Amino acid sequence: MSLPQAVLEQAVTALAVCWRLSRADGVVLGFTSHDHDLVIDGVVFRATPGMTPSAVTQTDSLEGDSMSLEGVLDVAAITAADLAAGRWSGAVVEVLVCDWSDPGAGFLCLSRGRIGELARPGFAATGAFQVELVSDLEVVDDVLPVRLSPICRSDLGDRQCGVDLDRLRRIWAVSGGGGSRLTLAPGLVAADRFRGGRLRFVRGPLTGIDRNIVEVIGSELRLDAAVPERGLSGAWVRLTQGCDKRISTCRDQYRNVLAFGGEPHVPGTDALLRYARP
């Protein structure tokens, strides 16, 4: 619902700045610079004077809008543990303006982006943090043209791949670990198949946190990012098998070669170095 133009053209306005944060796990939080809570579009925006935005720069070009957001940790909302565990990594942030005297009349979206770099100046003493918002247009810069590839361009289980991930998942107990290493309870069959796969905590303080599995050595997993050691006690995880994206794996392990999204028989760049034999 868009903010009526008449509200912006009034001689004296009652505008409030609001922030809507949406995490990948479905959690949505709202904050406002107003001194009372507001309800906008079904979301309660809590009065949080400690949240302050920088100047917003917008252009009509394809360059991303720039903005940063500063705030103070709230025990019930944005906690130090959640920041350390990466729960807010990539979360969508929308900066809105509404009429606090009639918040149901609509709002104006000033900026939208995703949480990028996180800084915590004076964090230990004050709990203050600062995040950089990465515009959605930045994603355009990361889109590469499709190139011939001997390995599959799809991800295991996505729409192009079509493999049913439910049969490739296991729920397993964590027995220990630290940093980017996790030790599983013994007994997991074919543990090496989870190399390159995905891990999600499904029980314990870290529930909902995802990590990529880089390596599997026996019952020990090496993850792509560290997890807080204090959250591992009594934890359970959901493991999803991985794929090295080679046609032999697609054919022999997943019986899915017809959906292979690559060109395994196209010569590589090493073909340029070959020469004809006399």
Give tens-digit pLDDT for 158-183: 999 999 999 999 999 999 998 899 99
Determine the average pLDDT of the residues in 74-93: 73
What is the greatest pairwise CA distance in the chain? 88
What confidence score (pLDDT) does residue 147 get? 76
Q: Which residue has the higher pLDDT, 216 or 128?
A: 216
CB–CB of 126/66 below 8 Å? no
Alpha carbon distance 111, 56 (integer Å)? 7
Task: Kindly tell me if the per-residue pLDDT of 62 is higher than 50.
Answer: no
6-19 pLDDT, tens digit per residue, is: 766 676 678 888 88
Radius of gyration of the chain (CA): 24
pTM: 0.65
In the numeric block, which tokens belong to residue 120? Answer: 């915590």
Q: Which residue has the higher pLDDT, 254 or 267?
A: 254
User: How does DSSP classify residue 242?
Assistant: -
Which CATH number applies to 165-259: 1.10.10.10, 2.40.30.20, 2.60.40.10, 3.30.420.40? 2.40.30.20
CB–CB of 174/211 below 8 Å? no
Task: Kindly tell me if the per-residue pLDDT of 131 is higher than 90.
Answer: no
Alpha carbon distance 239, 170 (integer Å)? 5
Say which residue the tokens 């796990």 belong to: 25
CB–CB of 91/22 below 8 Å? yes
Alpha carbon distance 108, 20 (integer Å)? 12
Extents of the domains making up the chain: 5-142, 165-259
C-alpha distances in angstroms, 5 versus 28, 68, 71, 106, 121? 27, 27, 30, 10, 39
129: amino acid identity, one letter: F
Alpha carbon distance 101, 165 (integer Å)? 49
